[in-house]
Structure 1
């Protein structure tokens, strides 16, 4: 397309994937119409990553003021928590980031037009937009990008729909702290919020359908259960919730071992793609359980229509969504870019944190790879020792013959900070022997990667503090 008649791309959504797609497409000379039916910015900045990490950080501070590993020498006192004021601080930062990183950028970008309304495919080259202010508008496009994200999923538990249960969205907006909270779910979101509420003062019970973090290496869930029990968070494994009732301002939750009661019930059992109102089936875009199927170039089953982020079958992380949106835009404007998820990090912001990348031992075995593993307890990591906080581990998976790193799983206070080093090592094809020979700064948690790598060939307990 010439500059006089630029490629027109319709972008549905305004979250991480959609914004990345819109900005990259405009950068590459396209004219963009961005359509948003709700709040600009999508999940991450408004009701996901940003507010949750603010709440988690506040809870961490509250916890340290009440209890720490240095209480023998530093006095501790349970803090007074004003949830209403914390919420005001949280939402002020959310609004600030939404304005700076989304609204202002869109408002000032000459190549991007924003339409407020709900989009629906009329055919493979046009959308019908039901405008928020009333009326409809037809948007014809050369290419379309779907970045509509996802919402909290609601499990089919008898009675649940008739109760005022919380989702992650509404839980983050609570201006009071429940005295008793039950959390149904055992994944990242469930455990992050469970610990945050517990540290701010709620009595918390977590109901896991099987066990904590059942999709991860079993050692991770076991370590997190120990950490939760130490903080007084009750964990009920193999808890199949059969019924929920709400009477007299109290939730009653039936599980196999009996009935549990609480002031609030948080349901955090996954997310559902926001795709049902798009008429995808009508234009031939294939989905599976609502998730849009995309190829390695982020194209759907309909040529010219692309998608990325939580509305697709990709991993539900905002950095994956943004990377997918950017690459989709390159492909929509004549390029050829793929999204390589072979070294994708994941982080759970509990305390200790959980961070992983690459293959677990079980996944390597399933793929027919002959692998060796080593698991280093944090009591062997100097940073953890001087923190007096040795609950956790770093585990490495390596190819037996070559020593090539295949994966890392870590449970540690700063696991989220060390995992990117593992990502780069994995991406570079490094062997554990090479990692063990690298220079790592002493008294950092990331030094644990070096020590874990060294355990493939030596007993690190016999080394001096900073032996190379």
Structure 2
């Protein structure tokens, strides 16, 4: 028996679900679940029944069958007898560990190869260290700038060295618990050293040649450095080195406009540094909806961060204890001087040392590994997952892809990656959270869209918090009223976005959001208010009158 998931279009109600289920029952399918909201059906088929038979049955029932994927198989493929390992994984971050654990569950002999610190970017130099320091910065900022009359709070000078020491202790603890300890728990092997492909089925690590039936490349990404004249001649910071500073700079210039630049720029501003954000693009978060960009820009400027957009970089140079960034803005020359310079202009895949040409693995224009929907590379025995493919740069996406890669490479499944509803959060204050399509993306895909834009001062939680700079924006299909995207700038936006993710993933409509009860005086209530805003003026509703 194999378990499948198949896309089904044309279902509009519970009756349609029953019709699809009945059609599948007639060809011998079992454990059938059809969902008109998700536009899919899952079921099991006997080995002798082809998936095309199921597609034909659905089509004959007057619905339209789409792509199908294997979710489970009771017949693990024979990988052959060659190879020192069943599955060799290069890298030890979220994708690698997720894949290793899943492959062990399939009964495979697994090894992970790591050239540096076990755990990858997130726990060591990314999510964990940055977010714990961001929280420290928020507390320091609020102590100096609370919005309530009658409260007299203050903060003394920040001891950055002590904050960093505490951060390092947390990182070490989480690395041990969530990564190193699991090696023995699941029984796969850790091999130390730099991995390089010798041929399509062999790698070399510290002079030792290793073979495997299947490989996974999960080497992640690292900071990308732009080609600005003079930059290679000065000492600059990246997201990695910035988080290990022991002394707080008085001034910091940040080159970059993405989430890393925004988070780390605001972090040091909140700790007491004078920060200037500099970027080529005409607005921050250029890939987001304009309303999101405007709300973020307004918030950081109100907080005292200088934002310079639409620049052309002429050169960078060191002058005494300062770094100078020479810019052209609207034809005028401008010089930004700061004690420290942070380069936060994106990330590049870690593929240079792998000798991928020997393995017949094709890479893209940015050095990323090119994979298909099943995470298979141009070499059918080699898979890739996580940041090295330059997909969404989130550890939870990497872990998701790692599991799929192991299921396909070792479990013999045919699972496709589905990244249609990936939530993203930028942990600034206010935070930024988004899922699904922007208005521009939805139109480019051919949707006729309706949008709702709700300013944060219409959300009761924001009013009582006395923090009203922000916005909720919803994008919906004007015909079906299904939610296509949700984009939020607000305190706790990252907590709110999960509800919106479920709505987008499972095809909920504007009406579904309106008809759902939202607890009063929560930020999540903003989703319901934004749904009401499609055709109501929420300023004319009483509290809780949705």
TM-score > 0.5 by shorter chain: yes
Which residue matches 2:517? 439
CA distance, structure 2, for counterparts of residue 355 and residue 312 of structure 1: 23
1:215 to 279, 283, 287: 287
Kept in 1: contact 2:315–2:325 (CA 8 A): yes
> Which has the greater radius of gyration?
2
Equivalences for residues 87-126 of structure 1 within 5 A:
87-110=164-187, 112-126=188-202
User: Where does residue 233 of structure 1 map in the other structure?
Assistant: 305
Q: How many corresponding residue pairs?
A: 461
Residue aligning to 2:347? 271
Partner of 2:229: 158
Of 306, 309, 323 in structure 2, the residue corresponding to residue 251 of structure 1 is 323
Unaligned runs of 5+ in 1: 131-135
Residue 343 (structure 1) aligned to one of 421, 426, 442: 421
The reply to whether residue 366 of structure 1 matches residue 458 of structure 2 is no
Q: Which moved more, 1:219-228 or 1:388-397?
A: 219-228
User: 1:65·1:79 contact (CA, 8 Å) conserved in 2?
Assistant: no
1:354 pairs, out of 417, 432, 439, with 432
8 Å contact from structure 2 (residues 453, 530) kept in 1: yes
Residue of structure 2 equivalent to 1:449: 527
CA contact (8 A) 1:3 1:29 kept: no
Q: Write the mapping of 1:14-25 to structure 2, written as runs, cut at 5 A.
A: 14-25=92-103
| Cα distance change, pair 401–454 in 1 and its aligned pair in 2 (3 A) | same
The answer on whether the counterparts of 1:373 and 1:397 sit within 8 Å (CA) in structure 2 is yes
Instruction: Give me the CA root mean square deviation.
Output: 1.5
Rounded to whole Å, the distance in 2 between the matches of 1:278 and 1:147 is: 11
SS at match of 1:142: strand
Q: 1:457 offset after TM fit, Å?
A: 2.9
Deviation at 1:108, TM superposition (A): 3.7
Partner residue in 1 for 2:377: 300
CA contact (8 A) 1:251 1:261 kept: yes
Q: Report the alpha carbon displacement of residue 415 of structure 1 after superposing the two structures with TM.
A: 0.7
Query: For 1:26-425, what aligned pairs fall within 5 Å after superposition?
Result: 26-70=104-148, 72-110=149-187, 112-130=188-206, 136-210=207-281, 211-256=283-328, 257-288=333-364, 289-333=366-410, 334-425=412-503
Query: What secondary structure, in the 3-state scheme, does the structure 2 residue paired with 1:195 have?
Result: helix
CA distance in 1, matches of 2:444, 2:509: 21
**1:95-122: CA deviation from partner (whole Å, max 9, x where unpaired):** 0000111111113432x11110000111
In structure 1, C-alpha distance between the alignment counterparts of 2:80 and 2:306, rounded to whole Å: 64
For each residue in 1:243-283, what CA deviation from the matched residue of structure 2 results, as whole angstroms up to 9, or x when unmatched?
A: 11113221011001321111000000000100011111222
| Residue of structure 2 in register with 1:133 after alignment | none
Query: Is the CA contact (8 Å cut-off) linking 2:291 and 2:471 kept in structure 1?
Result: no
**Any idea what SS the aligned residue of 1:182 has?**
strand
Matched-pair contact (CA < 8 Å) for 2:200–2:358: no
Verify the 8 A CA contact 2:224 2:345 in the aligned structure 1: yes
Partners in 2 of 1:385 and 1:231 — Cα distance? 18
CA contact (8 A) 1:294 1:313 kept: no
Q: Deviation of residue 385 (structure 1)?
A: 1.1
Q: 2: distance between equivalents of 1:356 and 1:97? A: 27
Shift of the 247–394 alpha-carbon distance from structure 1 to 2, 3 Å rule, reads: same
Inter-partner Cα distance in structure 1 for 2:144 and 2:100 = 46
Offset from partner CA, 1:46-92 (integer Å, 9 cap, x none): 0000000011000000001000211x121022332110100011000
Separation (CA, whole Å) in 2 of partners of 1:4 and 1:123: 18
| Structure 1 residue 183, shift from structure 2 partner | 0.2
CA distance in 1, matches of 2:158, 2:265: 16
State the 1:295 CA deviation.
0.8
SS of structure 2 residue aligned to 1:311: helix
Structure 1 window deviating more from structure 2 (388-397 vs 248-257): it is 248-257
SS in 1 for 2:481: coil
Following TM superposition, by how much is the alpha carbon of 1:442 offset from its aligned partner in structure 2, in angstroms? 1.2
Cα distance in 2 between the residues matched to 1:432 and 1:218: 22
Alignment deviations for residues 201-220 of structure 1 (CA, whole Å, 9 cap, x no partner): 10100001112111111222
| Partners of 1:442 and 1:466 within 8 A in 2 | yes
Whole-angstrom CA distance in 1 between matches of 2:355 and 2:298: 47
User: 1:462 Cα shift?
Assistant: 2.1
Distance, in Å, in 2 between the alignment partners of 1:330 and 1:109 is 17
Confirm or deny: 8 A CA contact 1:66 1:79 kept in the other structure.
no
Q: CA deviation at 1:313?
A: 3.1
Please state how far the C-alpha of 1:414 moved relative to its aligned partner.
1.0
